[in-house]
Amino acid sequence: MIITRTPLRISIGGGGTDLPSYYHQFGGFVIAAAINKHIYVGINETFSGGYFLKYSSLEHAASIDEIRHSLIREVLRLHEVPPPVEVVSMADIPAGTGLGSSGAFTVGLLRAVHAMKRKYVDPGVVAEEACKIEIDTLRQAVGKQDQYIAAYGGLACFEFLQNGEVRVNPLNISNGTLYDLEEHLVMFFTGYSRNASVVLDDQKIRSEMGDPAMLENLHFIKQLGQCIKLALEQGDTRRFGHLMHEHWLHKQNRSPGTSNDGINRCYEVGRENGAIGGKLVGAGGGGFLLFYAEDRVLLRRAMQREGLREVRFAFDHEGSKLVARD
């Protein structure tokens, strides 16, 4: 049995500019951070025929073409993995909550398949394979940040060039700033799970059509990501909190469905009770509210009154890795 562990992520700045519909025209820039909430993927050669798949559902397929889970099907097809094979997955946090689970799952499965073939693989290769499957093969309206941060881990800056190349650099912050972020970033589950494709399809279509409002919004978000990079590398975490609030205000205008009245209320309560700024992690519509809090105790009490559950986290600096191999 081969088991991989792959981190989920929070987006720090520039989210949305990593979609091909935008970066192929203008180039994109995203800061993302891997967190210590993980997806575990196991793969094993079995003694009976077919493909045994265990995730939120169970499958027993005789051939790759019969596999219903599209990501598993295309990973096994890409690497021509023959039966009999068993694939099992588990996650610390369920899908549909905005933490990049699909990208992390794909990266984790690819990492496991490479290990099964006894091949060393560079994180960039795994990330690009995952992007090829999700974006090119399955034609999903997703970006590239999830796959890359899952593969590399840490806190990283990703530059998405118009030709599709991705440049990866660590966010150059001090240990003091790193500890400050871990101490003051507080995350709560809104109670809403969603399919990000509704929001991202709208962004993709409007970007490809050259919709001025959408493109202007994404230009601003990219510039804001650069400002966040500068603030954090200068150690100005309070400024980062204010920039998060600016991001919140502009993201509300990007696409319908990015938020709702319940989430908006929780955000305002957070701002009134110890948070400088915050954001919905992911495309929007649900998932997690992430705040930068001056007063964490006050914020936690306020969110508890609103019925929101906190999920505590630290950063993951390892990326997708092999944790077991028999």
| Structural domains present in the chain | 2-173+316-325 (3.30.230.10), 175-310 (3.30.70.890)
Distance separating alpha carbons of residues 159 and 149, to the nearest angstrom:
12
Q: What is the pLDDT of residue 190?
A: 87
Neighbours of 169 (CB within 10 A): 10
Least Cα distance to 254 among 228, 279, 235 occurs for 279
Q: Which DSSP state fits 315?
A: B
User: 3-state DSSP call for residue 281?
Assistant: coil
- Residues written for the chain: 326
Which pLDDT value is given to residue 95? 83
Helices (H), 117-236: 123-131, 145-152, 175-184, 197-208, 212-233
Cα–Cα distance measured from residue 263 to residue 289, given in angstroms and rounded to the nearest whole number: 8
Supply the angle between the helices 212-233 and 237-251 in degrees, to the nearest 10.
170
pLDDT for 254: 67
CB proximity list for 63: less than 8 A, separation 6 or greater: 50, 51, 83
Residue whose structure tokens are 């590398």:
233
84 preceded by a cis bond (ω within 30 of 0): yes
Burial 47-80 (b: 16+ CB within 10 A, else e): eeebbbbebeeebebeebeebebebbbbbbeeee
Quote the Cα angle for 131-246-24, to 5°.
Answer: 30
Check: CB of residue 88 under 8 Å from CB of residue 56: no
In the block, residue with structure tokens 């209320």: 265
pLDDT attached to residue 255: 65
Give CA–CA dist 322/102, Å, rounded.
Answer: 18
The 3-class SS string of 177-201 reads HHHHHHHHEEEEECCCCCCCHHHHH
Alpha carbon distance 89, 181 (integer Å): 30
Work out whether the CA dihedral 220, 268, 201, 59 comes out positive or negative: positive
DSSP letter at 224 equals H
Residue 118 has phi, psi (to 5 degrees) of 60, 45
**pLDDT for res 281:** 87
Tokens of 273: 């009770």
Q: In what order do the strands lie in the sheet with 185-189?
A: 275-280, 288-293, 185-189, 309-310
- pLDDT tens per residue across all 326 residues of the chain: 999 999 999 999 999 999 999 999 999 999 999 999 999 999 999 988 899 999 999 999 999 999 999 999 999 999 999 999 999 999 999 887 889 999 999 999 999 999 999 988 999 999 999 999 999 999 998 999 999 999 999 999 999 999 999 999 999 999 999 999 999 999 999 886 655 666 677 788 888 889 899 999 999 999 999 999 999 999 999 999 999 999 998 877 766 667 788 889 999 999 999 999 999 887 556 789 999 999 999 999 999 999 999 999 999 999 999 998 87
pLDDT for position 195: 59
Whether pTM > 0.85 for this model: the answer is yes
Q: How confident is the model at residue 244, as a pLDDT?
A: 95
